[in-house]
């Protein structure tokens, strides 16, 4: 029962003077993520859900230079997981020629439908990728405990905050040739690890979500911090958990 | 003997065109600390004391996006150490729903009451945390000598400047599940090490203070520099002190 | 058959309010490259081709402080590879005394003439230089596979995008005393490795090109990311290819 | 025969709308140096000479927050090397109470008088300090060859540019308890190594100079780059010179 939008109404969805409007936020946040090294070379991005609408950046563009007029809008109530390029109920497609919605669309949808998330962030952070390389090859998940920054992460990404003595666990799935082919593997890992606040993709990056864009962003920062300190600990042979 | 403020007077406390007013400074400095990686993911922050008033950021928010209207104001003359959420004499509580004062409040108070500090900074810097992990497990304090940057640090944080040949000593306390539970351990360490300009918290971060916000900030920078160079020295098996 | 420009027409070539005009873009992009550590100390830069005109920065100046009036304009249709300081058909030479066109001019020309590139970037990134030092001395090229960021690079720099399972190969040539003496070595490597999207220069940096400035920049970012992760992998004894 | 300035004339020396006026440049450059990590915690800075006048920042202040009104002006023609706090011919002393001229004043003077430099930069860069710690304890100088960035450095700091095959040599002197006590050691090293473009101070930082502020800055960047790559080479057991 998605509302039907006229083209004027659809266009109006991405024009706002409010800096916290999703179309403005995506542009602003992507600039910040670029400075953090998370979305260099067109990789990564953020999708924000506002009630029954989902706002998405285009695929394959410089994320730090996106403008609101480049933003795609989709209804959250798709009949199935939306695949990039497939026929679906777009509410707004940018007029600029050749733009396609982010390849991450079906992966963002996992967070929206399986965790009822309000936002989902994908980064190619070197800390995430190096961590998946430093951990032994068979390791199914990253586990760490006894780090203050664990307290900034929520159970399942959208539940209660973890405690200092809790063990944070983030599953690691294998990368695939095409980004949308990660969809199923990510969904399986989310089902198998209901408390996981994120999914690491080996040799690729991480997906993090939260109830709101603020929680998705601060959790992405806490997790990236933990990936970074974990890489340093592994390189210095300091155990990641089981401390004391 | 705290002055009683009308709600208009309390509200006026955080509105100023002076960029060096505490409510403006906290916002400005937190943006800088974010770029340094000190307050990522809502962690860390700064509290500034102006005569008998203390200005504080909220808990659990993005520190680089704080605005003056989010700032809490408390009287310095609390009857006891203020614990977050406890009943106390707030002068100003931000109107935005759900904001609570920083969890670090009682720790900042240690610096104000035990050292008569004018400002206290808390960071989650990776250099601080990695240092507490690289030092042998039993090490009660970080010690370093023969570094130019030691001269930027003051005895006890608020006394005379250290000299190049002095040994800087910063106690390391164990982290606790709840931030306010660090209060006593930090106070004990400050009593035991009266010359220490800061307290490191293992697997968590550091508390640094100074007579003014400028001194607190420049000392936090000097200490963070020393934590960083010390990590590199330890990783390269270069002794931190006892040089020559 | 290059068009003949009056001095007014030549001067007009670099004045535009369009932020995406080549003369404005070079200045803007060089500021970004400075922040990335790619063009520190006057090194590196970018040349953009717009139809039959090539825009170039001066040699030996602070790249992050270039202004449009410092930009050189040359016709792409030089009778031979233009060498810095040689007599050639300049369309516009900046009026500021002592400015010479970038020493990289003939190297940029390789990308324009051999790959029909629309832009070429040269960086002194530490990741590129360290990589050429960490690889065994005889290694003729850098090879890496199974990294998501490989998908951001195109075959030969201007062809189709590489896939995740493809092996990226970037030849490494030896540095020379004078930058223009690299011209022949770079051309030979480009001829020998037609699929290579870039040329590494040992103890010096990298040349990267693309169909457009956007593709040149995003490929330079993807490659720099891969150089960085490869350095970390080599330092941690993780193989760069042949995974699984 | 220094000109005598009225207080109005002296005050006018630091007020200019020209962004390249020394008083404006010092503020601008120090902000950039702060972002590079060169002048954190009040350390480091830059002095610029304009004909017979020398412009200096104050001592012990946040270098990224200096304003033109804080700048000291001295005549270059001091009867002896000026020592901080000593009686001397100031042309302009900032009115703000408690400001003293940079502790580096006599060290900057070495560059002005012994090399006829137009500007001198002092940094506490971690790359410089770590390098002095990684090199064997007795090493009197840092030597490196076969690096492209060597070409950005001039013989003696103010002469002709070095070539790729030249060996760059930067003497390392021992640190002293008081900064001005470095004056003599620095002068001796400059006399002993007339071709050196800079002086490293063990466990402290580096002094770099040039004919102009542009040359001092770009040489400081090239040298810092070389210090950084040298640290990485030493940590990976790659020889710094004698290559091939």
Is D42–B225 a contact, with Cβ atoms under 8 angstroms apart?
A: no
Which residues on chain D are in Cβ contact (under 8 Å) with C41?
149, 152, 218-219, 221-222, 225
Task: Name the residue among A46, A44, A42 with its Cα closest to residue A72.
Answer: A46
Task: Name the residue among B197, B151, B232, B238 with its Cα closest to residue D175.
Answer: B151
Q: Does A31 touch chain C (CB under 8 A)?
A: no
**What is the Cα–Cα distance from A239 to A115, expressed in whole angstroms?**
31
- The better pLDDT of the pair C20, B82 is held by C20
Which residues on chain D are in Cβ contact (under 8 Å) with C124?
148-149, 225
Identify which of C126, C177, C205 has the shortest CB distance to residue D164.
Answer: C177
Which residues on chain C are in Cβ contact (under 8 Å) with D147?
129, 203-204
pLDDT at A97: 73
Instruction: Classify residue A157 by its DSSP letter.
Output: G
Average pLDDT over residues A175-198: 95
A79 pLDDT tier (thresholds 50, 70, 90) = low
Is D42–B163 a contact, with Cβ atoms under 8 angstroms apart?
A: no
pLDDT at B144: 98
**What is the Cα–Cα distance from C196 to C207, expressed in whole angstroms?**
11
What is the β-pairing status of strands B168-173 and A119-123? unpaired
Which residues on chain D are in Cβ contact (under 8 Å) with B217?
62
Instruction: Provide the whole-model pTM.
Output: 0.97
Q: Does A222 touch chain B (CB under 8 A)?
A: yes
Task: Name the residue among D170, D164, D153, D162 with its Cα closest to residue D218.
Answer: D153
Residue D72 bridge partners (DSSP): D56
C39 pLDDT tier (thresholds 50, 70, 90) = very high
pLDDT at D88: 74
Residue C204, annotated as binding a ligand: yes
Q: Which range is least confidently modeled, A203-212, B26-35, D71-80? A: D71-80
Query: Average model confidence (pLDDT) for chain B?
Result: 94
B interface test, pick of D32, D40, D61 with most B CB neighbours within 10 Å:
D40
Neighbours of A (≥3 Cβ pairs closer than 8 A)? Answer: B, C
pLDDT in tens, C136-169: 988 999 999 999 999 999 999 999 999 999 999 9
pLDDT at B4: 87
pLDDT at A244: 55
Q: Does A147 touch chain B (CB under 8 A)?
A: yes
**What is the Cα–Cα distance from B116 to B56, expressed in whole angstroms?**
17
> Is the pLDDT reported for residue C85 higher than 80?
no
pLDDT at A172: 98
Is C134–D236 a contact, with Cβ atoms under 8 angstroms apart?
A: yes
The fraction of chain C above a pLDDT of 70, given in percent, is 97
**What are the C-alpha distances in Å from D89 to residues B40, D46, D112?**
48, 20, 17
The fraction of chain A above a pLDDT of 90, given in percent, is 87
Identify which of D146, D152, D243 has the shortest CB distance to residue C43.
Answer: D152
pLDDT in tens, B146-181: 999 999 999 999 999 999 999 999 999 999 998 889
At residue A62, φ and ψ (nearest 5 deg) are -65, 110
Residue D122, annotated as binding a ligand: yes
The fraction of chain B above a pLDDT of 70, given in percent, is 98
Task: Name the residue among C198, C199, C124, C126 with its Cα closest to residue C162.
Answer: C198
- Token pair recorded at residue C17: 């309010």
- Chain D residue with Cα closest to B151: D177
> Is the pLDDT reported for residue C1 higher than 70?
no
pLDDT at A2: 61
> Is the pLDDT reported for residue B1 higher than 70?
no
C244 pLDDT tier (thresholds 50, 70, 90) = low
Q: Does A44 touch chain C (CB under 8 A)?
A: no
A interface test, pick of C38, C210, C214, C221 with most A CB neighbours within 10 Å:
C221
pLDDT at D86: 74
Instruction: Classify residue B210 by its DSSP letter.
Output: E
CA-derived radius of gyration, chain C: 18
From start to end of B25-152, where are the E strands? 45-50, 53-56, 72-75, 119-123, 141-144
A96 pLDDT tier (thresholds 50, 70, 90) = confident
pLDDT in tens, B59-83: 999 999 999 999 999 999 876 778 7
Residue-by-residue pLDDT tens, chain D, 244 positions:
567 899 999 999 999 999 999 999 999 999 999 999 999 999 999 999 999 999 999 999 999 999 999 999 999 987 677 877 776 789 999 987 789 999 999 999 999 999 999 999 999 999 999 999 999 988 999 999 999 999 999 999 999 999 999 999 999 999 999 888 999 999 999 999 999 999 999 999 999 999 999 999 999 999 999 999 999 999 999 999 976 5
B243 pLDDT tier (thresholds 50, 70, 90) = low
Q: Does D157 touch chain C (CB under 8 A)?
A: no
Residue D204, annotated as binding a ligand: yes
The fraction of chain C above a pLDDT of 90, given in percent, is 87
Which member of C148, C174, C214, C241 is catalytic?
C148
A43 pLDDT tier (thresholds 50, 70, 90) = very high
Is C43–D229 a contact, with Cβ atoms under 8 angstroms apart?
A: no
Scanning the structure block, which residue is given the tokens 């790959």? C115
- The better pLDDT of the pair C11, B96 is held by C11
Catalytic (active-site) positions of B = 148
Is A149–B41 a contact, with Cβ atoms under 8 angstroms apart?
A: yes
Is A214–B43 a contact, with Cβ atoms under 8 angstroms apart?
A: no
pLDDT at C4: 87
Q: Does B152 touch chain A (CB under 8 A)?
A: no
Nearest Cα of chain A lies from the Cα of B203 at a distance, in angstroms, of 5
What is the β-pairing status of strands A205-210 and C168-173? unpaired
The fraction of chain A above a pLDDT of 70, given in percent, is 97
CA-derived radius of gyration, chain A: 18
Which residues on chain B are in Cβ contact (under 8 Å) with D134?
236, 238
User: DSSP states of C117-149 as a string?
Assistant: -SEEEEE--HHHHHHHHHS-TT--EEEE-S-GG
> Is the pLDDT reported for residue A159 higher than 90?
yes
> Is the pLDDT reported for residue A1 higher than 70?
no
Here the ipTM equals 0.96
Which residues on chain D are in Cβ contact (under 8 Å) with C175?
146, 148, 164
Q: Does B132 touch chain D (CB under 8 A)?
A: no
């Amino acid at each position: 029962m998605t509302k039907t939008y006229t083209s004027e109404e659809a266009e109006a969805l991405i024009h706002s003077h409010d800096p916290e409007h999703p179309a403005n936020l995506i542009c602003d946040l992507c600039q910040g993520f670029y400075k953090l090294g998370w979305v260099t070379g067109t990789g990564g991005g953020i999708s924000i859900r506002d009630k029954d609408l989902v706002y998405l950046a285009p695929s394959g563009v410089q994320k730090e230079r996106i403008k609101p007029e480049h933003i795609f809008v989709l209804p959250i109530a798709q009949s199935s997981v939306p695949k990039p390029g497939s026929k679906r109920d777009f509410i707004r497609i940018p007029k600029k020629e050749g733009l396609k919605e982010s390849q991450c669309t079906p992966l963002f949808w996992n967070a929206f439908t399986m965790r009822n998330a309000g936002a989902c962030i994908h980064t190619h952070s070197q800390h995430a990728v190096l961590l998946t390389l430093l951990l032994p090859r068979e390791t199914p998940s990253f586990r760490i405990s006894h780090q203050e920054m664990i307290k900034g992460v929520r159970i399942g990404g959208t539940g209660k905050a973890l405690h200092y003595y809790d063990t944070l666990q983030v599953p690691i799935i294998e990368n695939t040739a095409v980004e949308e082919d990660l969809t199923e593997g990510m969904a399986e890992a989310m089902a198998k690890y209901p408390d996981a606040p994120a999914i690491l993709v080996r040799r690729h990056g991480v997906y993090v979500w939260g109830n709101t864009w603020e929680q998705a962003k601060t959790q992405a920062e806490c997790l990236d911090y933990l990936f970074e300190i974990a890489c340093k600990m592994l390189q210095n042979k300091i155990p990641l958990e089981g401390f004391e």
